[in-house]
Amino acid sequence: MFRKLFISIFLLLTACSDKQVENLQSAPVPEHKTESQVLLIKGGKIITMDATLPIASAMAIENGLIIAIGNDAELSSTYANAAIIDLQGKTIIPGVIDSHAHVAQLGAEAIKANLVGTVTVEAMVDRLKAFYPNPEPGEWLLAQGWDEGVWASIGNPDRALIDQAFPNNPIKMQALHGFAGFYNGKALEIAGIDANTEDPQVGQILRRENGEPTGVMLTLAQDLVNKHVPPLSVKQIKKIIIAGLKTMSSAGVTSIHEAGMKTKNFTAFKELAAEKALPIRVYGMLDGNNETLMQEMFASGPIIDEDYFFTVRSVKVYYDGSLGSRTALLRDPYSDEPDKANMTERISPERVKSLADLATKNGFQMSVHAIGDEGNDRMLSIYEKALANYPDLDHRWRSEHAQVVLADYFPRAGKLGIISSMQPSHAVGDSKWAEDRLGSRVRNAYAWQKMLKANIPLLMNSDLPGEPWEPMNTLYFAVNRKTLDNFPEGGWYKEEALSVEQALQAMTVTGAYAAFQEDKLGQLSVGYFADFVELDMDPLTIPNVNLKDIQVKATWINGQKIWPEP
């Protein structure tokens, strides 16, 4: 179904030049209307992502819905008294659906020092001093963003310089992807961690030659310290959620899939929804590793919002670790320094199978974080067993990341209809070291075209707040397979790159499908919510290398401009 739909959209989009826009047959429109509440958008190019009318130049909106779409002349005549927005040549695309995000972490950047891009401890100290020039003694200092994949390659950091700079303040420094934490001596002291502390059952305390902890804790070992950090209140969490959502709206995102809502975050989102304070749409993926939360939600059932502003019907399970930190589950040892690997199974297969069974019975979607090929294989086997008795279930279950897979993943996932939720930024961000970790296995890693050829629904999303997450960067990464600074020049395993049309499909239409919302979101068609983004350039016609330069000029939801704010 997906392959046929994409081919139809691709052929129609590529067949439509700017000169043909005005000559396209418009969609059927209602009888003549003169109501002033109708809003007519015209004077530009509208990429609809609707195979029946891929390009238009005008659309009419009423009560938040698209009521007509076609060409300027016809709609201007039909809606002669409508309020008019003249695009002045700009391009419109459907609102971007970021289908794997951690918006609370993005918003939390306002209260945490930013360590993104640091590759020396001295740089970390400088960032911390700039953010916390005069901290109160005993105050916990928070930071995030050091890249555990990069540091695993160059040698993980040691806390010595941090201890010298901040002897009286405990510090928690979360890694870019969340699979490692870095803590100073004061934080370790509060947690009671020293040379005699044993590693937890899942996770690892990195140590100096004398056995003392360096301050780096891998995967679940972070919990040994994190449980001592004063938790944020629901009120504080609500503030950072709003900050994160507004930041995303400024980049053209109109809907997110929040991956792994913990209990307090879930409560904060639910309260914001009740207050009608959510600036963009939210599809909730609950933290499946939290047994108490899942018992409560399986008992109460999904939250289904007919307006799609707050829907919660997905279970996000954290299964293995990450490739960068060598904690992802691989079938064979890591190709580089296998002795430093700590392949991690964060939850038992039996527990995942139990969650899958409960999900089928209670109307929830399964979404499992699986990075390594063994992790993805085990996940797929669990899915196959859980769904065997439900051959007609419209499950839309997902692999979150599907980063490294075995060769048989493609036919198996394609047959079962498992969605692959993948991140272009991960491919280009990992390109400098991924082949060292994997060797020849890299051929089945970040394999977007192989997914599509196997008829696997493909999502392209950010996993923010990691690497550059803005949608136009995601589009650039997906199409070019290289970093913003042009590495590698010819693109990394370019045969797996997407076309612009494929990437847009994965960022809009398939994102709506993955949330059971394809009837109202993901494309610009009659009867759909008027969620769209104004761009200063046309992604279908500019050179691919310039995709990252596209600027978002306005973001609209329900026919209302939400950014820039009035």
pLDDT tens digits, 78-107: 999 999 999 999 999 999 999 999 998 888
% of residues, the chain, pLDDT over 70: 94
- pLDDT, residue 108, reads 80
Q: Is 8 a residue whose pLDDT tops 70?
A: no
- Residue 283: is it exposed, middle or buried by C-beta count within 10 angstroms (0-12/13-18/19+)? buried
What average pLDDT is seen over the chain?
A: 93
Question: Could you give the CA distance from residue 124 to residue 171 in angstroms, rounded to a whole number?
Answer: 12
- pLDDT, residue 467, reads 81
Residue with tokens 């082949």: 435
- pLDDT, residue 348, reads 96
Residue 139 and residue 167 in contact, taking contact as beta carbons nearer than 8 Å: no
- pLDDT, residue 359, reads 97
- Which of 552, 474, 562, 564 minimizes the C-alpha distance to 251? 552
* Bond before 279 cis per omega within 30 degrees: no
Q: Is 14 a residue whose pLDDT tops 60?
A: no
- pLDDT, residue 19, reads 38
Residue 208 and residue 158 in contact, taking contact as beta carbons nearer than 8 Å: yes
Local confidence band at 566 (pLDDT 50, 70, 90 cut-offs): confident
Q: Quote the tokens at residue 149.
A: 């994949």
Structural Rg of the chain based on CA atoms? 24
Local confidence band at 236 (pLDDT 50, 70, 90 cut-offs): confident
Q: Each residue of 108-161: pLDDT tens digit?
A: 877 889 999 999 999 999 999 999 999 999 999 999 999 998 999 899 999 999
Residue 403 and residue 328 in contact, taking contact as beta carbons nearer than 8 Å: yes
Local confidence band at 565 (pLDDT 50, 70, 90 cut-offs): confident
Q: Each residue of 352-407: pLDDT tens digit?
A: 999 999 999 999 999 999 999 999 999 999 999 999 999 999 999 999 999 999 99
| Phi-psi region at 555: left, alpha or beta (left = phi > 0; alpha = psi -120 to 50) | beta
Q: Is 505 a residue whose pLDDT tops 60?
A: yes
Q: Which helix (H) or strand (E) holds 502?
A: helix 500-507
pTM: predicted TM-score of the whole model, two decimal places:
0.83
Architecture per CATH, 319-498: Alpha-Beta Barrel (3.20)
Residue 325 and residue 371 in contact, taking contact as beta carbons nearer than 8 Å: no
Q: Is 17 a residue whose pLDDT tops 70?
A: no
Question: Could you give the CA distance from residue 119 to residue 136 in angstroms, rounded to a whole number?
Answer: 27
Residues in CB range of 213: below 8 A, 6 or more apart = 159, 188, 193, 194, 195, 197, 205, 206, 207
- pLDDT, residue 31, reads 42
- pLDDT, residue 105, reads 87
Integer CA distances (angstroms), 108 to 238, 240, 245, 465, in order: 10, 5, 11, 10
Q: Each residue of 310-331: pLDDT tens digit?
A: 999 999 999 999 999 999 999 9
Question: Could you give the CA distance from residue 115 to residue 123 in angstroms, rounded to a whole number?
Answer: 8
Coil, helix or strand at residue 555? strand
Question: Could you give the CA distance from residue 548 to residue 486 in angstroms, rounded to a whole number?
Answer: 11
Q: Is 264 a residue whose pLDDT tops 60?
A: yes
Question: Could you give the CA distance from residue 295 to residue 291 in angstroms, rounded to a whole number?
Answer: 6
The 8-class DSSP code of residue 22 comes to: G
- pLDDT, residue 35, reads 46
| CATH fold of the domain at 141-226 | Diaminopimelate Epimerase; Chain A, domain 1 (3.10.310)
Task: Name the residue ranges covered by the structural domains of the chain.
Answer: 141-226, 319-498
Q: Compute the average pLDDT of residues 446-456.
A: 98
- pLDDT, residue 178, reads 86
Question: Could you give the CA distance from residue 48 to residue 522 in angstroms, rounded to a whole number?
Answer: 9
- Which of 536, 550, 523 minimizes the C-alpha distance to 89? 536
CA atoms within 13 A on the CB side of 264: 12
Q: Is 21 a residue whose pLDDT tops 50?
A: no
Integer CA distances (angstroms), 126 to 111, 114, 178, 560, in order: 17, 11, 22, 43
Question: Could you give the CA distance from residue 511 to residue 521 in angstroms, rounded to a whole number?
Answer: 9
Identify the residue with better confidence: 22 or 54: 54
Q: Each residue of 180-210: pLDDT tens digit?
A: 999 999 999 999 999 999 999 889 999 999 9
